[in-house]
Amino acid sequence: MGRKTCPSITLQRETIMELFSEYFKKDHLLSRVDARVKLGVSLFILAMVLSYKGLAFPLLILSISLCLCIRMKIPFKVFLLRFSEPVFIASVVILLKFLFSGQETMFSIKIWGITITGHKDGLMDGLQIGSRILGAVSVVALLGFSTPFTEIMAGLSWFRIPKGFIEILMFAYRYIFVLLEDAMVIYNAQKNRLGYSNIRRGLSSFGTLSGSLILKAFEHSQNTTTAMLQRGYDGNIPMLKHKPFKLAEVAASILFIFAMGLVWKI
């Protein structure tokens, strides 16, 4: 008889695969654009966002990216996962700058003997940093939403990123799913044995889970290396070959960068 799969494990696996799925990266305008063109445009826009002193341009880029994500019908769960961490980081930066940085006082209150002071100039500095964070992350997220991982790697190889670095990224991406499935199996086995019934047992179970995954990662790496050597791997990856540029895509990207440059200069 075949091995039965726990329904909870199957549900978790389907959820994770949905979060990392690439089905929404197809059949739209950006998916047909060369990955090298998208990478080049993204690098220029990132430089503009990070160097802009103000709120308008990063917020404009954020709005454009969000509109394109909606147009591509990105699942809300995936969208929330990608943006939750940068939103949290931006919020913390704004709060810290508002309360602990600046000279122009907006208010000052005393609670339980502790004086809390808000600064107007600190708030503006925090909003500028937060807008840069969200604008930059939205550009990277849009690139990831619109481009399959293998095409991004092919584009990076064209930009002369070291081949060893690209190989590591591709193998890491491949085995993320394998290790996630191993982690779910171990976690559910621990949970069924009350491994997380209290804080002490939970920390012990988490340590065991982490150690097991590290050992499995080493085992997978050794097996992969052996298999590739036996198949005559010489460092050349066929999927990293490039097609000729399309003149229309290059011209459109140059016009877009030029238009964003004009907005950036205003």
**Distance separating the N- and C-terminal Cα atoms of the chain:** 70
pLDDT at 196: 86
Angle at which helices 149-158 and 35-51 pack, to 10 degrees?
80
The arithmetic mean of pLDDT across residues 134-161, rounded, is: 86
pLDDT at 23: 53
pLDDT at 136: 93
Same domain assignment for residues 162 and 231: yes
Same domain assignment for residues 200 and 108: no
Using one digit for the tens of pLDDT, what is the confidence trace for 162-180?
A: 888 888 888 888 788 788 8
pLDDT at 2: 41
Contacts of residues 60-69 at CB distance under 8 Å and 24 or more positions apart, as own/partner, are 60/263, 61/135, 61/138, 61/139, 61/260, 62/131, 62/134, 62/135, 62/138, 65/135, 65/138, 65/139, 65/141, 65/142, 66/138, 68/30, 68/142, 68/146, 69/141, 69/142, 69/145
DSSP for residue 82: H
CA atoms in the 13 A half-sphere facing the CB of 26: 3
pLDDT at 240: 60
pLDDT higher than threshold 70 for residue 131: yes
Residues contacting residue 193 through CB under 8 Å, at least 6 positions apart? none
pLDDT higher than threshold 90 for residue 235: no
Using one digit for the tens of pLDDT, what is the confidence trace for 39-90?
A: 999 999 999 999 998 889 999 999 999 888 888 888 777 778 888 889 999 9
pLDDT at 1: 40
Same domain assignment for residues 162 and 212: yes
pLDDT at 57: 92
Same domain assignment for residues 122 and 230: no
Using one digit for the tens of pLDDT, what is the confidence trace for 2-34?
A: 444 455 545 455 555 555 555 555 667 777 888
Same domain assignment for residues 75 and 39: yes
Same domain assignment for residues 188 and 230: yes
pLDDT higher than threshold 70 for residue 255: yes
Domain span including residue 178:
1-22+149-235
Same domain assignment for residues 191 and 140: no
Q: What is the pTM of this model?
A: 0.76
Residue 213 structure tokens:
């995954």
Identify the bridge partners of residue 107 per DSSP, sorted by sequence position. Answer: 118
pLDDT higher than threshold 70 for residue 151: yes
Same domain assignment for residues 97 and 67: yes
Element (H, E) at 37: helix 35-51
Is 126 strand, coil or helix?
helix
pLDDT at 195: 84
Place 134 in a pLDDT band, splitting at 50, 70 and 90. Answer: very high
Same domain assignment for residues 60 and 70: yes
CA distances from residue 70 to 38, 65, 75, 85, 254 in whole angstroms, order as listed: 18, 9, 9, 19, 24
The arithmetic mean of pLDDT across residues 226-246, rounded, is: 73
Same domain assignment for residues 138 and 65: yes
More confident residue, 31 or 216: 216
Using one digit for the tens of pLDDT, what is the confidence trace for 83-128?
A: 888 999 999 999 998 888 878 887 777 777 777 788 888 889 999 9
Handedness of CA 63, 64, 69, 70 (dihedral sign): positive
Domain count, the chain: 2
Same domain assignment for residues 170 and 75: no
Same domain assignment for residues 77 and 105: yes
d(CA 184, CA 179): 9
